[in-house]
Amino acid sequence: MKFNPVTPEIVATLQQIVGEAYVLTAATPEEVKRYAHDETEDLHYYPEVVVKPVNTQEVSQIARLCHEQYIPLTPRGAGTGLSGGALPVHGGVVLSMERFNKIIQIDERNLQATVEPGVVNEEFQNAVKAKGLFYPPDPASKGSCFLGGNLSMSSGGPKAVKYGVTRDYVLNMEVVLPTGEIIWTGANVLKYSTGYNLTHLMIGSEGTLGIITKIVFKLIPFPPKNVVMLVPFRSSEEACAAVAQIFMAGITPSGLEFMEREALQWSSDYLKIDVPLPEDIESHLIIELDGWDLDLLYQDAERVYGVLEQFNTGEVLLADTEAQKEDIWRLRRNVGNAVRYNSIYKEEDTVVPRAELPALLKGVKEIGQRYNFKSVCYGHAGDGNLHINIIKGDMSDEDWNNKLTEGIKELFRLCVALGGTISGEHGIGLVQKPYMHIALQEKQFELMRGIKKTFDPHGILNPGKIFEMA
């Protein structure tokens, strides 16, 4: 793909479209720098220009301009991504959606909400909760990530195990195509059998098919009661094995998270929250049950205890207070930050059928021994979604950049052999692209390329992501 540079004339046109105050150029390098990276490793790619439109018409004009001039256009949410999806690897224009920050309507009659894509996930959750409603998808970065970015990756989070991922809450969206046309992808309805499902095609397409400018979400009633347990295991493989057993007992927790000893240890140090961590404990599960009736939840908790009896666990902590529950969840949500604080790392977002988790974890450690890397594992065990943080520590740059790649390939081959795949919720973006051929055959790439060309004939939108075009 051959692109053109951003000329002074194009900058001037962009300024006309959005106003001078909302165009950043190399004249203010410190401001541009913010848009050169996301939360993926230590990667930096500088855009030639950053624009901050405020409405759909402006986005449409920008897209048409970039389409006509063959200029790369990379949409950007909050920049919390972990696969480099928002990095402008071919330069060009970064389209920041930060001014699309309005909750347009919360429709209590229909249990729906219409929002702009730059609304922060947690702000949206709080706004609907104030009306007794629930928007469950809650990535660890919920305090800062944008809903539009969540759609682009179909983000999950701890609640996904009971309530599903972002995909399951999107009814309809307004999208600006790379050619500048504006469409709605569906209708504001719970069931839709009216042609190819463009809504579901857009979700998870990582900003390569269109720019989301409005989203209609489905909401559900907020379940007011919950019970949270922290369960220590003497064997990590047993912890993983317990996960499937809980579901097989007919229980559907609203959270079922796994943390290796070091994940909890590092997060506890990072947050300065004290957790008892006896020497013989290899890992923990967080188990949350939610619903409308506390007695019933305690009955379910008893059934969980029944399942746990067959495993070698330490003393279960049943959170007594809301503060204690919040501490447990903060510990979980901050594992990523704590790992980042400790070392350069690569995070692999593996996912397998949940009963294959023990085999996956065992394989990870065995591969780590052979390739001489250390890993800290945690994640949404109820979904079979294990985040494997590979720690650079004192590994040489040579080994980190080259030899490690082979180890990661082995990891992903194991996932696929177990019926899984290489990303459950973080997406492929830039950094997982080299591994895509492990999960997909050439024919699937061919179909994806054809879809991409249909939406984006000049290939300008977020180029260089997910798969190679040629």
Residues numbered 120-159 forming contacts with a second copy, rule: CB under 8 A: 132, 153-156
Q: Closer to a second copy at the Cβ: 49 or 62?
A: 62
Eight-state DSSP code of residue 97:
-
Q: Could you say which of 26, 277, 294, 447 contacts a second copy (CB under 8 A)?
A: 447
Paired sense of beta strands 374-380 and 283-291, if any: unpaired
Q: Closer to a second copy at the Cβ: 103 or 355?
A: 355
Kindly identify the residues of this chain, within the stretch 342-401, that bind a second copy according to CB under 8 A: 349, 351-356, 380, 383-385
CB of 199 to a second copy, least distance (A): 9
The answer to whether residue 168 forms part of the interface with a second copy (CB under 8 A) is yes
The answer to whether residue 306 forms part of the interface with a second copy (CB under 8 A) is no
Q: Closer to a second copy at the Cβ: 316 or 448?
A: 448
Q: Could you say which of 91, 92, 178, 420 contacts a second copy (CB under 8 A)?
A: 420
* Count of CB atoms situated within 10 Å of the CB of 309: 8
Using alpha carbons, list the distances in angstroms from residue 221 to 119, 135, 143, 150, 290: 21, 9, 22, 21, 12
Q: Could you say which of 2, 250, 302, 470 contacts a second copy (CB under 8 A)?
A: 250
**Window 86-125: contact mask with a second copy (x via CB under 8 A):** ---------------------xxxxxx-------------
CB of 204 to a second copy, least distance (A): 5
Q: Closer to a second copy at the Cβ: 18 or 239?
A: 239
Please, which residues bridge with residue 49 across strands? Answer: 93
Closest C-alpha among 76, 156, 63 to residue 118: 76
Q: Closer to a second copy at the Cβ: 319 or 386?
A: 386
Q: Could you say which of 26, 104, 220, 277 contacts a second copy (CB under 8 A)?
A: 220
321's tokens: 């207070």
**3-state DSSP assignment of residue 268:** helix
Q: Closer to a second copy at the Cβ: 32 or 364?
A: 364
Place of tokens 């809980």: 246
Q: Could you say which of 10, 422, 431, 460 contacts a second copy (CB under 8 A)?
A: 422
Q: Could you say which of 46, 70, 192, 400 contacts a second copy (CB under 8 A)?
A: 192
Stretch that binds a second copy, among 64-72, 232-240, 340-348, 440-448 (CB under 8 A): 440-448
- Judge contact between 469 and 90, C-beta under 8 A: no
Given strand 211-218, what is the order of strands in its sheet?
A: 103-107, 112-115, 211-218, 170-176, 182-184
CB of 417 to a second copy, least distance (A): 11
Q: How far apart are the C-alpha atoms of 22 and 99, rounded to whole Å?
A: 10
The answer to whether residue 174 forms part of the interface with a second copy (CB under 8 A) is no
The answer to whether residue 428 forms part of the interface with a second copy (CB under 8 A) is yes
Q: How far apart are the C-alpha atoms of 347 and 369, rounded to whole Å?
A: 18
Q: Could you say which of 160, 287, 289, 386 contacts a second copy (CB under 8 A)?
A: 160
Count residues contacting a second copy (CB under 8 A)?
88
Stretch that binds a second copy, among 31-39, 86-94, 179-187, 398-406 (CB under 8 A): 179-187
CB of 411 to a second copy, least distance (A): 14
CB of 244 to a second copy, least distance (A): 6
Q: How far apart are the C-alpha atoms of 134 and 140, rounded to whole Å?
A: 17
Q: Closer to a second copy at the Cβ: 177 or 230?
A: 177
- Judge contact between 83 and 17, C-beta under 8 A: no
The Cβ-side half-sphere exposure at 286, using a 13 Å CA radius, reads 29
Closest C-alpha among 55, 54, 53 to residue 94: 53
| Angle at the Cα of 255 from the Cα atoms of 254 and 258, rounded to 5 degrees | 160
Burial class (CB in 10 A: 0-12, 13-18, 19+), 127: middle
Q: Could you say which of 416, 417, 437, 469 contacts a second copy (CB under 8 A)?
A: 416
CB of 352 to a second copy, least distance (A): 7
Beta strands in 148-299 (DSSP E): 170-176, 182-184, 211-218, 220-221, 225-233, 255-260, 283-291
Q: Closer to a second copy at the Cβ: 252 or 324?
A: 252
Kindly identify the residues of this chain, within the stretch 263-302, that bind a second copy according to CB under 8 A: 292-293, 296, 299
Q: Could you say which of 186, 207, 363, 459 contacts a second copy (CB under 8 A)?
A: 186
171's tokens: 């009814």
**Window 198-217: contact mask with a second copy (x via CB under 8 A):** x-xx-xxx---x--------
Q: Helical H runs in 185-309?
A: 198-202, 236-248, 261-271, 294-308
